[in-house]
């Protein structure tokens, strides 16, 4: 949200991404919580971890 110019809209951005119908085209798996936690993912946290690992993200 902050990078889009709306620093106070993190909850709105998260809500929109939670309803993402094409998660591989709009990479919502890259969104993490403010505290660095994984948060949720439509396909489950195991898939989120796999996708992030494929992108080289260290968890």
Closest by Cα among 7, 6, 28, 25 to 17: 28
Which of 28, 31, 51, 52 is an active site residue? 28
Q: What is the dihedral of CA 26, 44, 55, 31, to 10 degrees?
A: 50
Identify whether 12 is a catalytic site residue: no
From the centroid of its chain, how far is CA 2?
A: 14
Q: Which residues are catalytic?
A: 28
């Amino acid at each position: 949200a902050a990078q889009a110019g709306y620093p106070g809209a993190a909850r709105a951005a998260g809500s929109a991404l939670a309803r993402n119908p094409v998660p591989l085209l709009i990479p919502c798996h890259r969104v993490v919580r403010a505290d660095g936690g994984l948060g949720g993912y439509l396909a489950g946290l195991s898939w989120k971890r796999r996708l992030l690992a494929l992108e080289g993200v260290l968890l």
